[in-house]
Amino acid sequence: MVPHLITALTGPINELEQRVLESMPAIERWFRLEWMEHTPPFYSSVDLRNAGYKLAPVDTNLFPGGFNHLTPDMLPLAVQAAMAAIEKICPEAKNLLLVPENDIRNSFYLSNLATLVRIFSQAGLNVRLGSLDPTVTGPTELSLADGSALTLEPLLRTRGRVGLKGFDPCTVLLNNALSAGVPRSIEHLHEQYLLPPLHAGWPSRRKSQHFKAYEEVAKKFSKLLGMDSWLINPMFIPLQSADFSAGQGLEALQTQVDAVLSKTRRKYKEYGIQEKPFVVIKPDAGTYGAGVLTVRDAKELPELMQRSAWGRGPDGASAHQIVVQEGVVTHERVHDAVAEPVVYMMDRYVVGGFYRVHAERGVDENLHAPGASFVPLAFSQASQLPRPGEKPGVSAPNRFYMYGVIARLGMLAASYELEVTDPEAEVYA
């Protein structure tokens, strides 16, 4: 059941694990106090990279689409967390409208939707699916691989509310990152709870905002544990308003790449790390790892950009604002293939996770790409519960506890980020 997992067993990460385990009650209390001040995202998933010498979140997704990859053993945790989340937001809730991505032909994604329907039904809600896709004009039955079916219905917008024919929800749950923009049908829903809020969608969200918030969180947490925050935080520099299509901006970008590379080199030297530093360049807005470039030398940039058609086409449009981030290799393998852990959370609780595995990608490449496969994290046997007293690095439960801690830091950063970027918050400022 447990995948054969080769995890990074040496170096600073084991010291970090040791410290995280020893500080468990303090860490959990720290989170508890943070959640008194900040509202956790309704749900989230965080991609982690474990390099052996550092462990860091590299992506925080506020519209997680892989609930089907969690082991079924973890579902009771998700149901319990969903109950807690609903109790806080809208305890009298009866109906939940789930709004999926427009393109739902992917059978994995359908299975994700079926899992979400199951979780929220069992948490005590009538769940129905409403589509933002204008081509969905009547109830549409979608068949799943296991023989079951889901029904997708067109949204009905009335003055202050959105629903379906004969279905008036008190809460609308988006499982759609709104990459194509915010449709009018879900704007200004002042009478309903819309989760996550619209400004969590990619039209508004900026990775640089998230990384900035994460830096703050990582520093606070590292202070609590008395450690260098670099061990859990990749350095980054946001670069604004560069127009690569016109050939400009390249020089500025090369300077930033050099700056991040030499900062990383210094850190590697400090820790005696025998690796070649690299950076990843990401568009500040956008999802699905689109347009992520791995760069080891600023001189390679012109060729790399040409080869990847970067700065042009649909991704190019959003590439005017970019982020240069310290690259973190993943030194984890599942059956010889490069792997990175992905942790799923609902409300403030870790509810499961899986390894994203890619046989054709390198340790320094983005694994969120076609060809990836998924192996549920060995969260089964009692599982993410740490076992104090075991030697660091040898116990899967202990490693997974640490993953859950770092993933929750990513989630907390998203909470900070959404507070800062909330367009309605300024009204009360």
Closer residue to a copy of itself in complex, CB, 181/388: 388
Report helix, strand or coil for 266: helix
Q: What is the CA radius of gyration of the chain?
A: 21
360 binds a copy of itself (CB under 8 A): no
Q: Do you know the residue count of the chain?
A: 429
19 binds a copy of itself (CB under 8 A): no
Distances (CA, A) of 318 to 119, 163, 212, 241, 308: 35, 32, 19, 10, 15
Closer residue to a copy of itself in complex, CB, 117/200: 117
* Ramachandran area for residue 26 (φ above 0: left; ψ -120 to 50: alpha; else beta): alpha
86 binds a copy of itself (CB under 8 A): yes
77 binds a copy of itself (CB under 8 A): yes
Dihedral of the alpha carbons of 328, 334, 338, 342, in degrees to the nearest 10: -50
Give CA–CA dist 201/206, Å, rounded. Answer: 9
Q: Which stretch binds a copy of itself (CB under 8 A): 12-20, 68-76, 216-224, 304-312?
A: 68-76
123 binds a copy of itself (CB under 8 A): yes
Give me the least distance between CB of 94 and a copy of itself, in Å please. Answer: 6
Q: Which stretch binds a copy of itself (CB under 8 A): 11-19, 26-34, 263-271, 421-429?
A: 26-34
Residue 386 near residue 27 (C-beta atoms within 8 A):
no
Give me the least distance between CB of 343 and a copy of itself, in Å please. Answer: 14
Residues 6+ apart with CB under 8 A from 221: 30, 229, 232, 409
122 binds a copy of itself (CB under 8 A): yes
DSSP string, 252-271: HHHHHHHHHHHHHHHHHHHH
Single out the residue of 33, 149, 252, 317 in contact with a copy of itself (rule: CB under 8 A): 33
124 binds a copy of itself (CB under 8 A): yes
35 binds a copy of itself (CB under 8 A): yes
Dihedral of the alpha carbons of 326, 332, 337, 338, in degrees to the nearest 10: -10
15 binds a copy of itself (CB under 8 A): no
Tokens standing for 106? 């992917």
36 binds a copy of itself (CB under 8 A): yes
Amino acid identity, position 225: L
Closer residue to a copy of itself in complex, CB, 115/176: 115
Give me the least distance between CB of 369 and a copy of itself, in Å please. Answer: 30
Number of residues interacting with a copy of itself: please give it, by CB under 8 A: 44
Single out the residue of 10, 22, 39, 76 in contact with a copy of itself (rule: CB under 8 A): 76
Give CA–CA dist 373/94, Å, rounded. Answer: 36
Closer residue to a copy of itself in complex, CB, 32/223: 32
Residue 112 near residue 386 (C-beta atoms within 8 A):
no
Single out the residue of 58, 81, 113, 402 in contact with a copy of itself (rule: CB under 8 A): 81
Tokens standing for 293? 């470039």
Q: Which stretch binds a copy of itself (CB under 8 A): 118-126, 153-161, 283-291, 406-414?
A: 118-126
Give CA–CA dist 291/368, Å, rounded. Answer: 11
380 binds a copy of itself (CB under 8 A): yes
79 binds a copy of itself (CB under 8 A): yes
141 binds a copy of itself (CB under 8 A): no
Distances (CA, A) of 46 to 37, 129, 131, 408: 21, 25, 26, 8
10 binds a copy of itself (CB under 8 A): no
Closer residue to a copy of itself in complex, CB, 94/223: 94
DSSP string, 161-201: -EEBTTB--SEEEEE---TT---GGGS--TTSEEES-GGGS
309 binds a copy of itself (CB under 8 A): no
Give me the least distance between CB of 379 and a copy of itself, in Å please. Answer: 8
Residue 149 near residue 161 (C-beta atoms within 8 A):
no
Q: Where do contacts with a copy of itself occur on this chain (CB under 8 A)?
A: 24-29, 31-33, 35-36, 72-73, 75-77, 79-81, 83-84, 86-87, 91-94, 118, 121-126, 348-349, 380-386, 388
